[in-house]
Amino acid sequence: MTPANTAFSIIATTSSGRPSIVTRFLTGNLRLRVRDICRQVCAENEVDILRGVLSSDHVHMFVSVPPKLAISDLVRKMKGRSSYKVQREFPAIRRRYWGCRFWGRGYFSTTNGAITEDIVLRYLEKHIADPTGASR
């Protein structure tokens, strides 16, 4: 992380296609593809991924973002590109989410000022040990 960059913790949840129902489907090849797309978007925008976890129902990333990039733009690009590509590459997902959202609306982000970087990294390390666990 360069001194001018800001560290953010970002969480984005998947959608079930129906309100108020959480579906845990980020597994196997789909999970790997979403991970690769998020890495691509980050690399293209000069964002360093300090740590990241893909759970079965959400993505949690700790990233270092340059000041020229708004966090909302980064999340929009990651969610938009991953939804578009996944629905093109996985026919079952396209059928399930046709006309619906792949990702849940919105996202959560915070800088590491309210909590220490060490706490975020420890949380993510714990989450890496059980990545398929339900979000807490």
Domain segments of the chain as ranges = 6-129
16 pLDDT band (50/70/90 cuts)? low
Closest CA to 131 of 59, 34, 67, 62: 59
pTM: 0.75
Query: Residue 135: what pLDDT?
Result: 41
User: From residue 110, how far is each of 44, 73, 104 by CA, in Å?
Assistant: 22, 15, 18
| Mean pLDDT within 25-50 | 90
Q: Is the dihedral of CA 12, 17, 23, 25 positive or negative?
A: negative
Q: Which is the CATH superfamily of the domain at 6-129? A: Transposase IS200-like (3.30.70.1290)
Residue 20 is predicted with a pLDDT of 47
What pLDDT sits at residue 40?
Answer: 96
